[in-house]
Structure 1
């Protein structure tokens, strides 16, 4: 006859063996590690997925957006212009060219919408968004492109740009950050201030598939060793993709290519973007509206392990400043557009 089941009060039902405290702690730690591992794996999976969707730096063949808002587009329809001036403007309006964001034209409260619109055009054109952020306090040290914001407003302005870029993360983004800001810092005497301000801008603008380039001067300004010293002193170089060279200048692409390699070597590595918008005839030693210049190599023409590629960064046809007969900096100058395009139209 089988024995009766133990009653609820019997020792067989109430007595439990306790696990050693050390074993309990070990099990909790293992469980926590499993959870953390799952989170990390998920994060890696997301990052891998983003890379597979095209999170790649600029390279040979990169095509940037043709902005409908370019001054050349408006100039091409100017009934008061000559036939040559309209033809030059129409040619330049069709070229992929970076768009310059300045607080004078795209102020706080409006700049985000401009970035969103440019990103929409990039999607439609299956192109890369390329912007120049140009609003640093004390911009251009009071020279032809003087202006910019105070430090608090600059932080607000760049944060608005960054928020718009965040929404458009499906579009690859190139950011040329404050041309001339570092190469001019000796003259301005404010490298510490600029480093802090640029660091805040990098924080605001950085994100997946956003490639930021600091100012690297150009081949006929500072030596590579001097420019590297300035860039290193900012403490920002390891937070960006690299540096831009020849922005708004006229040096030949070959000279800038060599300079970019020398600067990257002096910095211990890194990458460059070269502006070839007005490099076609090389330099005559002048930087402000020199005569006889030409548009240069189309964007995406060349590159290697150091030079990501070349782009048109400075819009050809816009004045460098009130020099050699030109209007204010950034203003459309029909005569310059005609001269720059005389061999390609």
Structure 2
């Protein structure tokens, strides 16, 4: 079992409670996600899953959907969707101004005595112009955004998964070569800035085994991006590779990096990837299931945590009838929950 995250949480809890206070009942949610159902206060039914030190958002899309289903008498659907609503999911702060989202999450996590998990996802030339295109318009804007992001975390215990896809897209050539030097420099600077926060752990994204199949190709790019000053790397973000496959790949990459630890996104890998065409398997694949609930009790010395980085139920993009990337899709969420083992 990894003890690193739990120890950081315990050390920071008292300070976080003092620094953050208690969120007001009328605090506005500045997230771009569309609210589901009628406005409501905190749900008393939402509680952190046993064995997890991570914060559960009581007003997540899934939690609001549960309340809507309950009001409509859809009790079985509500019961199933609690498999998502009552478990900790990463927060993806806004790309324009991350402070309101982070402040709200930090306050909620401090009140519950938990660690909050964030994803920093705003690198220039993000996603090579595909479904999740966007990001900061230039390097200086990104530096300013990261500084605001880190400052908003303050002394709170937090995990930051840094820039999903940014390094793998440089490795596979999707991000044009003229942007590589700046990208690695920005990632390296972001690690340094985030690590100035005393209780923040940073995991630089390294893709998944079905994408960059040879872990050796990631070693030099990760080093250029500052992996030696991060707490580790993250794997399987928004993907579906099984834990055994990811851990095998991660152990090999870790060995090439001198024993670096890593995290695994288990949000949707309960039944592994969709068989068949790999190019079509990543975007809203049917028949998938929730994976192992978030925990730092992984039973593997190299794996610091299983996390739900991708929010289960958020669309991958406008494929297979889905809405735009990052938009809550309750029918897909129900499918993931229905096929989950627990």
Greater mean deviation of Cα atoms: 298-307 or 93-102: 298-307
TM-score, structure 2 as length reference: 0.77
Report the 3-state secondary structure (helix = DSSP H, G, I; strand = E; otherwise coil) of the residue aligned with 1:203.
helix
Does the aligned pair in 1 maintain the 2:81–2:337 contact within 8 Å?
no
1:262 aligned to 2:252?
A: yes
RMSD: 2.4
Distance 1:124 1:195, change over 3 A: same
Give a deviation string over 1:183-205, Cα, whole Å, max 9, x none.
11121023212112212322332
Q: What is residue 39 of structure 1 aligned with on the other side?
A: none
CA deviations over 1:285-313 (Å, ceiling 9, x no partner): 41111111000001114142211121111
1:243 aligns with 2:200: no
Of 132, 140, 150, 2:119 maps to: 132
User: Which of 139, 143, 155 is the matching residue for 2:143?
Assistant: 155
Gaps of 5+ in 1: 1-49
After superposition, the C-alpha distances for 1:264-323 in whole angstroms (9 at most, x for unaligned) are 111222110100011100012411111110000011141422111211111100001111
Aligned CA distance change for structure 1 residues 87 and 331 (closer, same or farther; 3 Å): farther
Alignment of 1:1-345 (within 5 A): 54=11, 61-78=51-68, 83=74, 86-103=78-95, 107-108=96-97, 111-150=98-137, 151-166=139-154, 169=155, 171-185=156-170, 186-189=173-176, 190-206=179-195, 207-222=197-212, 223-234=214-225, 236-284=226-274, 285=278, 286-300=281-295, 301-344=297-340
Runs of 4+ aligned residues of structure 1 deviating over 3 Å after TM superposition are: 50-53, 77-82, 84-91
1:260 CA drift (Å): 0.9
Does structure 1 conserve the Cα–Cα contact (< 8 Å) formed by 2:188 and 2:224? no
* Contact 2:288-2:339 within 8 A present in 1 as well: no
Question: Partner residue of 1:40?
Answer: none
Instruction: From the CA coordinates, give the structure whose radius of gyration is larger.
Output: 1
Residue 270 of structure 2 aligns to a residue in which SS? Answer: coil
Asked whether the 8 Å contact 1:55–1:172 carries over to 2, the reply is yes
The aligned length equals 284
For the structure 1 residues 152 and 281, does the alpha-carbon distance in structure 2 shift closer, same or farther, using more than 3 Å as the test?
Answer: same
Structure 1 range deviating more: 83-92 or 251-260: 83-92
Deviation by residue 1:207-251 (Cα, 9 ceiling, x = unmatched): 2221101011111111211122321233x1111011000000011
- What's the TM-score, normalizing by structure 1? 0.76
Any gaps of 5 or more consecutive residues in structure 2? 1-6, 14-49
**Aligned residue for 1:44?**
none
- Residue 141 of structure 1 and its aligned partner are, at CA, apart by 0.8
Structure 1 residue 62, shift from structure 2 partner: 4.4
